[in-house]
Amino acid sequence: KQEVTQIPAALSVPEGENLVLNCSFTDSAIYNLQWFRQDPGKGLTSLLLIQSSQREQTSGRLNASLDKSSGRSTLYIAASQPGDSATYLCAVTQDSGAGSYQLTFGKGTKLSVIP
């Protein structure tokens, strides 16, 4: 059974700092990995999608890497801003059989960026 772990569970940084969020998974047979952002009481916003054959993806100040063989992914946020404060979730997609895929999520990292 796939297990996804995110460390740290919470992180507080001053504005402007660069930071790294970590995600690890136990089964390397993944289809892809997706990073999401969740604001309090809201749904999930997709940030980056990395296919299993890719090593990294970039969008603006965000960079996500994937090392499938070691079961690790990182999300790098450059020059953090107070608006980046949210919970960041990592999810891996796996083939569940019969053409179905499902996401397995980590518990998330709650980020607070202090002005």
Partner 1 sequence: KAGVTQTPRYLIKTRGQQVTLSCSPISGHRSVSWYQQTPGQGLQFLFEYFSETQRNKGNFPGRFSGRQFSNSRSEMNVSTLELGDSALYLCASSFNAGKGYTFGSGTRLTVV
Is 88 exposed, middle or buried (CB count within 10 Å of its CB: 0-12, 13-18, 19+)? buried
Least distance in angstroms from the C-beta of 69 to partner 1: 20
Q: Which residues bind partner 1 (CB under 8 A)?
A: 31-32, 34, 36, 41-46, 49, 51, 89, 91, 93, 95-108
Least distance in angstroms from the C-beta of 87 to partner 1: 10
- What is the C-alpha separation between 60 and 12, in angstroms, rounded? 21
**Cβ contact 52:68 at 8 Å:** yes
Residue 63 or 104: which CB sits closer to partner 1? 104
β pairing state of 109-114 and 10-14: parallel
User: HSE-up of 68 (CA within 13 Å, CB side)?
Assistant: 17
Residue 50 or 77: which CB sits closer to partner 1? 50
- What is the C-alpha separation between 67 and 98, in angstroms, rounded? 27
Residue 69 or 100: which CB sits closer to partner 1? 100
Least distance in angstroms from the C-beta of 52 to partner 1: 10
Least distance in angstroms from the C-beta of 36 to partner 1: 7
Residue 31 or 79: which CB sits closer to partner 1? 31
